Chain A
Amino acid sequence: NAGVTQTPKFRILKIGQSMTLQCTQDMNHNYMYWYRQDPGMGLKLIYYSVGAGITDKGEVPNGYNVSRSTTEDFPLRLELAAPSQTSVYFCASSLRQVGYTFGSGTRLTVV
Chain B
Amino acid sequence: DAKTTQPPSMDCAEGRAANLPCNHSTISGNEYVYWYRQIHSQGPQYIIHGLKNNETNEMASLIITEDRKSSTLILPHATLRDTAVYYCIVRVDYKLSFGAGTTVTVRA
Chain A stretch 54-107: residues in CB contact (< 8 A) with chain B: 58-59, 88, 90, 92, 94, 96-105
B94 partner, pick from A41, A96, A102, beta carbons under 8 A: A96
Number of contacting residues on A, CB 8 A?
28
Residue A111 CB within 8 A of the other chain = no
Contacts from B to A (Cβ < 8 Å): 32, 36, 41-46, 49, 87, 91, 93-101
B44 partner, pick from A59, A97, A102, beta carbons under 8 A: A102
A42 partner, pick from B42, B95, B98, beta carbons under 8 A: B98
A59 partner, pick from B94, B97, B101, beta carbons under 8 A: B97
In the bound assembly, the distance between CA atoms of A8 and B94 in angstroms comes to 26
Contacts from A to B (Cβ < 8 Å): 4, 31, 33, 35, 37, 41-45, 48, 50, 58-59, 88, 90, 92, 94, 96-105
With A98-B49, A100-B46: A35-B98 Cβ-Cβ less than 8 Å: yes
In the bound assembly, the distance between CA atoms of A45 and B94 in angstroms comes to 11
The 5 closest A-B pairs by CB, nearest first: A102-B43, A43-B98, A42-B98, A97-B94, A99-B46
For residue A96, which residues in chain B have a CB less than 8 angstroms away from its CB?
A: 94
In the bound assembly, the distance between CA atoms of A41 and B96 in angstroms comes to 15
In the bound assembly, the distance between CA atoms of A99 and B32 in angstroms comes to 12
> DSSP majority for the B interface?
loop
Closest to A45 in B: B95
Q: Are A97 and B93 in contact (CB under 8 A)?
A: yes
For residue B46, which residues in chain A have a CB less than 8 angstroms away from its CB?
A: 98-101
Distance in angstroms from B104 CB to nearest chain A CB is 15
Q: Are A103 and B43 in contact (CB under 8 A)?
A: yes
For residue B45, which residues in chain A have a CB less than 8 angstroms away from its CB?
A: 102
Closest to B85 in A: A42
Closest to A4 in B: B43
Q: Are B101 and A42 in contact (CB under 8 A)?
A: yes
A100 partner, pick from B36, B42, B93, B100, beta carbons under 8 A: B36
A58 partner, pick from B36, B49, B95, B100, beta carbons under 8 A: B95
